[in-house]
Structures are given as C-alpha cells and as structure tokens.
Amino acid sequence: MSEYKNHTDYIISETEDYEKLVPFFIENELEFTEEDAEEVPTDVVKCWQITDADGRLVGGFVLALREGEYICDGIAIDNSLRGTGLGSQLLKLGLEETVKRGGDRMFLVARAPEFFRRNGFVTVPRQEAPNFFECLTCPQYGISCHPEVMRFDIEDEK
C-alpha cells in the first residue's frame, strides 16, 4: 500500500476497501443511500483514504471508469476537516492517476460545485456528458438536490 504524507496528523493512502468508503460517503451527505450504492455497478480504478493519528477514516476518494470516461465516483472529507486542503489533495491524486492511465479529463456530479470550481472543474450541460450518472433516476433530483455535472480537462492544465 502506497502512502502519501500531508499534514503530520493525517495519512493519505491507497485502499482496496471500497466497501468501507461507501458508508463514509453516505455519512458525509452524498446523495445516495447504501441500497442505491449496492445497485450501481462501478468499475473502480483506485481508491484513497485519509486516516487520522488514531486510524479513524476522515476522508476518501474513488476514481472509476465508466463508458470509457474517468469519473470521481465519490469524494468526502469529515465535516470538521473541510477547508484544510485535504479534499484538494485527494482530487489531485485522482487527476494524476487519470493522466498515468492515459485519460485527458475527469467527470463528476457535484453537490458542492464551488469546491470543484476552485480546483479547475467547469460545469457542462448534462447532454455533453456521458450518460453514466444515476442522478436522473433519484427521487431527490431536481427537488431537494440540484447537482451540477462538471468536467476537468487535463490538457487545459498542461
């Protein structure tokens, strides 16, 4: 398992335990429930976790590949640690892995679009994105949840 050090109290490391990250994402207000998550097929490419000095999970990121496109399939930071730069570090690792694998962009559905805008993502019309997000079938979509489809063009950053 590779480890990436950041703040002295936190360690970012790769994890193969996707199932451990799903409840963490739900606890941190992602729009799906555990039942929905189990029904969604995900081609996981790589996962990262952030743990504190006590080994408690405080952050996670899942990079996936669907319909030939790289996606951020989940990213969350414990509410008490938001704004510390940990989320941006996870996002950077996902983008670096995308480049290593030959990808030139990443898509996501954002409930917190300002965070992603600050990290170089742009909102794209739904019809310009591949049809691989489950939001359209969610009963919350357009009622209590108004996510944005976003894309990061890696070539633009080089």
| H helix intervals, 30-85 | 34-39
Q: How far apart are CA 6 and CA 8, in angstroms?
A: 6
- pTM of whole model > 0.75? yes
Q: How far apart are CA 74 and CA 109, in angstroms?
A: 9
Domains of the chain (ranges, CATH numbers): 3-157 (3.40.630.30)
pLDDT in tens, 139-151: 555 555 567 889 9
pLDDT in tens, 40-88: 456 899 999 999 999 999 999 999 988 888 999 889 999 999 999 999 9
The radius of gyration computed from the CA coordinates of the chain, to the nearest angstrom, equals 15
Query: Which helix (H) or strand (E) element contains residue 63?
Result: strand 57-66
Token code pair at residue 60: 């996670």
pLDDT at 157: 54
pLDDT in tens, 80-120: 999 999 999 999 999 999 999 999 999 998 878 999 999 99
Instruction: Please give the average per-residue pLDDT across 14-30, as a whole number.
Output: 86
Report angle CA 131, 135, 137 to the nearest 5 degrees: 90
